[in-house]
Amino acid sequence: QASAFSPGRPVQGRALGQRARVARQPNRRLGVSMPSFAIQSAATPKSGAEGLCKKLSSTLASSLGKPESYVLVTFQKVDGMCFGGSTDPAAFCYLSSLGSITPEKNTATSAAVAAVLAEELDVPQNRYYINFFDSERSNMGYNGGTF
């Protein structure tokens, strides 16, 4: 059965939604995706930073269809954040992934993240941004090399 981690599976390119086959390189792990999610907010997570990161990790793995063992989540509490002229709870998020960045998955991921942000940080759905980025394999380092 094909999965997001199958060698030779078409991956979404950054330019104009082009699809490309990934060539196997010697001594490189192929087909492994490493979504990373960074969040900044002035709000304090109800379950603590580690609790928030764990909730987001499982949420993102499910939403993106990736194994949680490859998901990296960081939370940074900032001294202040102003969104739309207000310092009410808000958040800025950045998601980078090797594949799985598509309009459909972005919409589903945004909704899933919004639920966690509301529960953990009291951030309403209209007070956060997520920047989605489809990384090139050669620009993602892991295990002493790149993907």
**Contacts of the segment 136-141: beta carbons below 8 A, 24+ positions apart:** 136/14, 137/11, 137/22, 137/98, 140/34, 140/96, 140/98
- Catalytic entry in 7, 10, 26, 35: 35
| Cα 47 to Cα 52, 79, 91, 122, distances in angstroms | 6, 19, 16, 12
**Residue 46 phi/psi, 5° resolution?**
-60, -35
Q: Tell which residue, 26, 27, 25, 22, has the closest CA to residue 6.
A: 22
Give yes or no for a contact between 90 and 41, defined as CB atoms under 8 angstroms apart: yes
Active site residue 35: yes
Instruction: Look up residue 46 and give its amino acid.
Output: K
Residues labelled as active-site residues: 35
